[in-house]
Structure 1
Amino acid sequence: MKAFYSFLAVIVLILVAAIGGSIVNLHFVFGIVIPYLAFVLFVGGFICRVVKWGRSPVPFRIPTTGGQQKSLPWIKQDKIQNPTSAFGVIVRMALEVLLFRSLFGNLKTELREGAKGPELAYGSAKWLWLGSLVFHWSFLIIIFRHLRFFLEPIPSAVQVVDSVDSMLQIGLPPIYITDLLFIVAITFLFLRRIVIPKVKYISQPADYFPLLLIFSIACSGILMRYFYKVDIISVKELALSLAMLHPVLPTGVGAIFYVHLFLVCSLFVYFPTSKLMHMGGIFLSPTRNMISNNRMVRHINPWNPAVEFHSYAEYEDEFREKMKKAGIPVEKE
């Protein structure tokens, strides 16, 4: 039911966009007003979340470590898993962001029948790492390719990436490799949440909805490119005018384009309030971006309030006479 509610929400978004794209009088709203509003909400929400995280107090060093800490000279330190220098943290963060280093070490746990009964066994689980890596990198390349609609002249780097990505010359237009990989990866990530009981148990609508929304964006884009042709010149004209803050609403782009654009805008609006904000949060995670030098440097919480101490000498000066009357021995007569 959790997946069904998310699926129903995506269907509603598609129907709203399809109806709006079919009505000429609403093209201005769906083509200009909603994209600008979505962009403002995305940038503003993203900045607010990052600023809120950045202002959160982190008084102690709490990096997640997975290797030997720096200790005695003859013990080899793991400078990436347990960095004690800024360079080590940079390398660790780069591996985390670009190659999903921590996810690569993911393990699966299961009970197996052994000679003495059930035994807890651990095994490698690299499929999640591979699927996530393909999904994120394909998504990044697809977004980078779309810069050709917003820039004129088109940068050479975008042209090179576009040429390499479309080197499968099967029919016209050429098939993009990342389109195929992206669909396969996001399908795998979605089915994983349905098929695996433990993952299904902890999955919420907030986990299904972005996957289905992104899948619908990819499908609408593929439909535009390979099946329902749209006027690319008009699409680029609209994209350039939006980027230059002088919007011009073209005609004849088709309702499927407005569906694709509205779904992208919905993702932009949803992004800052969702789990997708891990894109920015990974750089502010104290478990990743801190040097592990707890044994080398003493860290004192700067937010600790000042404590007023009352020494025994002061206590005795205050209550000496009463202590004498009660027969309590005192140090000073």
Structure 2
Amino acid sequence: MKIAVPLALTLALAGIAWAGIQLLGLYGLFGIVVPYVALASFVVGFVYRLVKWGRSAVPFRIPTTCGQQKSLPWVKQNKIENPASTAGVVGRMLMEVLFFRSLFRNTKTEKHGANLGVGSAKWLWFGALVFHWSMLVVVLRHLRFFLEPVPAPLAALEGFDSLLQVGLPVLYITDLTIVCALTFLFVRRVVLPRVRSLSLPNDFFPLFLLLGVVAAGVAMRYFVRVDVEAVKEMAMGLVTLHPVVVDGVGTIFYVHLFLACALVAYFPWSKLMHAGGVVLSPTRNMANNSRSVRHVNPWSRDLPVHTYAEYEEEFKDKMVKVGLPLDAE
């Protein structure tokens, strides 16, 4: 059920878009209203989650460390795994965001006969890295629909992504890699018993949404032709706040757009928000300098102090009665 329900929901969303365009002709709803609502949900949710996390107090200096801390001058410090400065933290965060360093170092527990051992989980790191970098390139490529003229760096990126061109239409490398990576991440959740038992419907739903968006995009690119000029005209209208609905854009485009809007609207309210939360994780964004800098607990409050002299004055008679010595004497 935790696989069937998200899959059925994704297919239902695709069916709603198809029926809304093909049968009801709701071009304005799916081409104008839905994108703006999805963008509003994304911006409001993203800002809300970041502000909520940013206002959370961090009472202790709790960075995760995997290397030598800064100490004596002749002891070599690991400035990335155990940063003691802001520059070290920035370097560590860049390694984490761009190359998933902690996931690369991740290990899994395996059973070797009667004993437990530690094994490598590099396939998960590689699959996640391929997916995220492919997704980044795909999103950047799509910016050409929202910019006029198209910046030279985007044109160069698109040219690099199409190095494997063997004919028309242009074959993009990322179209292949993102499909393979998403398939790997889905199969991993289904095939591995432990991962399958830990997976929830909200783990599968984003995967199915992403697969739906990618499948519709690939279908548009290589199988069902659409008017690219009309698509760009609609995109530019949305960006300039002068939305228009252009005739000649196929139904498959609206299915692609609706699934993408559903993903964007769902993003800040789901586990996908780890994209923004990683930079606010106190285990990553704090320097391990507790030996050299005093870290004041933001939860500390000025409380009335009851000194021992006051305590002794209050309970003097009882202390004398039981034979306890008094400092006042």
- The reply to whether TM is greater than 0.5 is yes
In the aligned structure 1, how far is the partner of 2:89 from the partner of 2:60?
16
**Which residues of 2 match residues 1-333 of structure 1 at below 5 A?**
1-23=1-23, 25-113=25-113, 118-320=114-316, 330=326, 332=328
In the aligned structure 1, how far is the partner of 2:328 from the partner of 2:81?
58
Contact kept? 1:237, 1:250, Cα under 8 Å:
yes
Tell which deviates more after alignment, 317-326 or 297-306: 317-326
In the aligned structure 2, how far is the partner of 1:322 from the partner of 1:198?
62
> % of aligned pairs identical?
57
In the aligned structure 1, how far is the partner of 2:15 from the partner of 2:183?
22
In the aligned structure 2, how far is the partner of 1:226 from the partner of 1:129?
30
> TM-score, normalising length from structure 2?
0.95
Deviations 1:138-192 (A, max 9, x none): 0000000001111111111111111111122222111100000000000000000
Shift of 1:331: 5.1
Deviations 1:199-219 (A, max 9, x none): 111000111000110011000
Contact kept? 1:217, 1:260, Cα under 8 Å:
yes
In the aligned structure 1, how far is the partner of 2:46 from the partner of 2:176?
30
Q: Structure 1's 96 and 316: CA in aligned 2 closer, same or farther, altered over 3 A?
A: closer
Any unmatched runs of 5+ in structure 2?
A: none
In the aligned structure 1, how far is the partner of 2:322 from the partner of 2:123?
76
Q: Structure 1's 110 and 253: CA in aligned 2 closer, same or farther, altered over 3 A?
A: same
- What SS is found at the alignment partner of 1:288? helix
Q: Structure 1's 327 and 128: CA in aligned 2 closer, same or farther, altered over 3 A?
A: closer
- What SS is found at the alignment partner of 2:144? helix
In the aligned structure 2, how far is the partner of 1:2 from the partner of 1:325?
70
- What one-letter code is carried by the residue in structure 1 that aligns with 2:251? A
Contact kept? 2:32, 2:243, Cα under 8 Å:
yes
Deviations 1:267-314 (A, max 9, x none): 011001001011111111111111011222332313222232323322
Deviations 1:30-50 (A, max 9, x none): 000111111111111111111
In the aligned structure 1, how far is the partner of 2:257 from the partner of 2:208?
16
Q: Structure 1's 182 and 324: CA in aligned 2 closer, same or farther, altered over 3 A?
A: closer
Q: How many residues align?
A: 329
Coordinate RMSD, CA, aligned: 1.7
Shift of 1:3: 1.0
Deviations 1:206-256 (A, max 9, x none): 110001100110000010011110111111100000000001110110110
> TM-score, normalising length from structure 1?
0.94
In the aligned structure 1, how far is the partner of 2:219 from the partner of 2:158?
18
- What SS is found at the alignment partner of 1:183? helix
